[in-house]
Amino acid sequence: MQISPKLFGSTCMPARPILPLLIAIALTLVLSLLSGCAGGWQGAKSSSSTTVLISSPENQTVTVGQTATFSVSASGGSGPFTYQWYKNGSLISGATSNTYTTLPTSMGDTGSVFTVAVSSAASTVTSSPATLTVNAIKPAITTQPVSQTVTVGQPASFTVTATGTGPLAYQWYLNGVAISGATSNTYTTSPTTSSNNGAVYTVTVSNSAGSVTSNSATLTISNPPPIAASLVPSSATLVASILTAVGVPKGRPKPDISTPDEAYEYLTRLKEIILYTGVSDCNMEEGSLRCDANVSVRLRGAKEFGSKVEVKNLNSFRFLQKALEYEIERHIGVIEGGGRISQETRLWNQAESYTVSMRSKEKAHDYRYFPEPDLLPVHVSAAWRDAVKSALPELPEAKRRRFVQNYGITLYDAGVLTGSQELADYFEAAVKAGAAGKAAANWMQTELLRRLNDSGKEITASPVSAAALADLVKLVEGAKITAAVGKKVFAKMFETGRSGAEIVEAEGMGAQVSSDSIEQIAREVIEKNPDNVAKYKSGNEGVFKFFVGQVIKATRGQANPQAVNEILKKLLAN
């Protein structure tokens, strides 16, 4: 059989280049597949790249009303990045950029902890915590008290305005002596005689950051009546009657009190001493303490005072002060009009702010002075007097001085804490239980007294004992919890009577990692990262944040950031 060359040529001859062509096509497909796989591998590698923080937010210290800005930067991942900021573990609505700015308006923001979660398509990483410290703004006087010119009997008001972190405390002074009860930004006085002419008033404004004293403001008495100009300050004799189980003892000081303000101050200090010595509870509303006042005036240069008038049975020191102011003015008016002061007993009408005559006492027999045959004379020997004196408890003024000297608190703090024997005892018990003096004073004034006042309770009925408060203070001072968390813990202590440690443990509040544990973890982090240790010691302080982040991460965010910083700095310094 003969094969046609034409057929062979048309069907068989082209078969020779097919094999190389098929090989080329196969290679092309393989290469394409390999390229696709490589691309897939490369893409997978890219999508699994983690987000890395280049810088974490830093701790901020500002004053109230000053903005604090926290920022973070990141790299890695497939981008774009999303951000979410947190305050004390709670999400901050709308805080979704790499920078967060806050404006603290009170001291309550101090100790707040801020973190930020940075996310990409690949992963999410949370920054190390940054703590906000808010300092109080020291008071600054914006409007000074202005000197006043008035006539006798006309009220004069002195006012001061100040800025600073509240609450602001005010104390007015007359000629350098504190005016009891004058604790608002305005002080009003009604000069009763021309002897008030030239009186100098100042005010001290204070808060936890410090205090500032105003310029002096002078009171000038203009155009006093001729006779009034020759009158000297009044003589006021005070009689304080104290109701006790054994009778009604009376205290009658010498007539050396010349102004109603002095009378008020004297009685206030006397009441403190009576309370501290346990003589009486001094409940004026229930009649445990009453006070009478004898008042008279004299012409300047005269040796004897004029007729005295007694204002009887006053159950308020403020009422007594107002009654004396009225009586002094009445005496002067009667004398100026050519009249005569009658020796009598008068009563104070608080509703109408004037005195009314009760009975006349012109002669000694009107007072029915005579020996009481049933009462034997009591002879007080010097030895007995000295023995009683040595047995007296520490009195308020001495206690205030000791508190300032021994516990490092301010005179203002001491004045508040010695307001009663029970309050002073509570403070000292807290200090003896281990609380620092200034810290205990701050917690008592800002948290304890406020809540007692709001609930209408006395210090003796406090749900938080002195020892429990001391334990809480030690938790805060020992960096176991932040100050902000401490306030939340105290609120629960006051409501439930539970201890601070119990609440912190049960509710997972604050940092719960001990300093020893933090140090152990910090040592392990340092040992595993010798390169970063070398960078830090060569001056690259930015790498310090890396160590902080690693320790925080290892403790699952339970370590106190301040303690972490302090321990790391100590270890890296070696």
In terms of domains, do 263 and 365 share one?
yes
DSSP letter at 287 equals T
Q: Is residue 27 part of a domain?
A: no
Separation between Cα atoms, residue 500 and residue 492, nearest integer Å:
8
Alpha-carbon gap, residue 240 to 238, rounded angstroms: 6
Comparing CA positions, the residue from 285, 278, 290, 292 lying closest to residue 245 is 278
Q: Would 175 be classed as within a structural domain?
A: yes
Residue 259 shares a structural domain with residue 364: yes
For the chain, count helices (H), then strands (E).
18, 26
Average pLDDT in the 155-177 region?
86
Check whether residue 493 and residue 537 sit in a common domain: no
**Total number of domains in the chain:** 5
d(CA 191, CA 183): 19
Whole-number pLDDT of residue 562: 74
* Residues whose CB falls within 8 Å of the CB of residue 482, separated by 6 or more in sequence, listed in order: 111, 112, 113, 131, 476, 510, 511, 560
Q: Beta strand 344-349 with 309-314: parallel, antiparallel or unpaired? A: parallel
Q: Is the pLDDT of residue 31 over 50?
A: no
Give residues with Cβ within 8 angstroms of 363, minimum separation 6: none
In this model, does residue 511 exceed pLDDT 60?
no
pLDDT exceeds 60 at position 174: yes
**Residue 112 class from Cβ within 10 Å (0-12 exposed, 13-18 middle, 19+ buried)?**
buried
Flag whether pLDDT at 16 surpasses 60: no
pLDDT over threshold 70, residue 123: yes
Instruction: Give the C-alpha separation, 476 to 110, whole Å.
Output: 12
Q: Is 70 exceeded by the pLDDT of residue 171?
A: yes
Instruction: Give the model's confidence band at 195: pLDDT under 50 very low, under 70 low, under 90 confident, else very high.
Output: low
pLDDT in tens, 300-320: 777 788 888 888 878 888 888
Examine residue 41 and state whether it is found in any structural domain, yes or no.
no
Report yes or no: 458 and 452 within 8 Å, Cβ to Cβ. yes
CA distances (Å), 445 to each of 133, 269, 466, in order?
Answer: 20, 22, 13
What sign results for the dihedral spanned by CA atoms 250, 252, 253, 256?
positive
pLDDT for res 187 = 92
pTM of the model: 0.48
Task: Specify whether 323 is located in the same domain as 280.
Answer: yes
Residues 275 and 334 in one domain: yes
Q: Cα(262)–Cα(498) distance, rounded to whole angstroms?
A: 46
Angle of helix 561-572 relative to helix 544-554, nearest 10 degrees?
130
Q: Is residue 185 located within the same domain as residue 291? A: no
List the beta bridge partners of residue 375. none
Q: Backbone phi, then psi, for 509, in 5-degree steps?
A: -95, 125
Same domain, 465 and 410: yes
Q: Of 194, 221, 248, which closes a domain?
A: 221
Q: What is the mean pLDDT of residues 335-351?
A: 86
Interatomic CA distance for residues 454 and 473, integer angstroms = 22
Predicted local distance difference test score (pLDDT) of residue 48? 44
Residue 255 has pLDDT above 90, yes or no: no
- Burial (0-12, 13-18, 19+ Cβ within 10 Å), 406: exposed
The SS3 call for residue 264 is helix
Residue 565 is part of a domain; what is its CATH number? 1.10.10.410
**Percent share of the chain, pLDDT over 70:** 80
Residue 320 or residue 371, greater confidence: 320
**For residue 499, how far is the Cα from the chain centroid?**
22
> What's the pLDDT at 471?
95
Closest among 118, 88, 117 to 102, alpha carbons compared: 88
pLDDT of residue 19: 53
Decide if 37 is inside a domain. Answer: no
Q: Do 219 and 196 meet the contact criterion of CB atoms below 8 Å apart?
A: yes
Residue-range definition of the domain harbouring residue 183? 140-221
Residue 173 lies in a domain: yes
Highest mean pLDDT among 218-227, 229-238, 270-279: 270-279
Q: Tell me: do 148 and 164 sit in the same domain.
A: yes
Taking the C-alpha atoms of residue 192 and residue 150, their distance in angstroms, rounded to an integer, is 11
> pLDDT-derived band of residue 443, with 50, 70 and 90 as boundaries?
very high
Instruction: Characterise 287 by phi-psi region: left (phi > 0), alpha (psi -120 to 50), beta (else).
Output: left
pLDDT, position 11 = 38
Highest mean pLDDT among 79-93, 227-241, 330-344, 415-429: 415-429
Mean pLDDT across the chain, nearest whole number? 79
**Bigger pLDDT: 15 vs 57:** 57
Output the CA–CA distances (angstroms, integers) from residue 468 to 43, 47, 106, 430, 503, in the order listed.
Answer: 60, 54, 26, 8, 12
Give the pLDDT confidence of 547-560 residue by residue, as tens digits: 888 887 887 656 77
One domain, residues 239 and 361:
yes
What confidence tier does 249 reach under pLDDT thresholds 50, 70, 90?
A: low
Q: What is the CATH number of the domain that holds 207?
A: 2.60.40.10
Q: Which of 70, 98, 132 is the last residue of a domain?
A: 132
Answer whether residue 16 is part of any domain.
no
pLDDT of residue 136: 82
pLDDT band at 47 (very low <50, low <70, confident <90, very high): very low
Residues 347 and 402 in one domain: no
CA distance 462 to 494: 8
**462 within 8 A of 426, measured Cβ to Cβ:** yes
In a domain, 109, yes or no: yes
326 and 245 in one domain? yes
Amino acid occupying residue 215: N
The answer to whether position 382 is within a domain reads no
The band of 374, judged by pLDDT with boundaries at 50, 70 and 90, is: confident
Distances (CA, A) of 55 to 41, 71, 541, 543: 30, 8, 12, 9
Q: Are strands 130-135 and 60-63 parallel, antiparallel or unpaired?
A: parallel
The answer on 363 and 238 residing in a single domain is yes
pLDDT score for 35: 41
What's the number of CA atoms in the CB half-sphere (13 Å) around residue 72? 32
Residue 395 Cα distances to 348, 389, 400, 444, angstroms: 32, 11, 9, 21
- Of 146-155, 188-197, 275-284, 369-378, the range with the lowest mean pLDDT is 188-197
Q: Last residue of a domain, which of 369, 404, 421?
A: 369
Q: What is the tens place of the pLDDT at every residue in 389-433?
A: 888 899 999 999 999 999 999 988 998 999 899 999 999 999 999
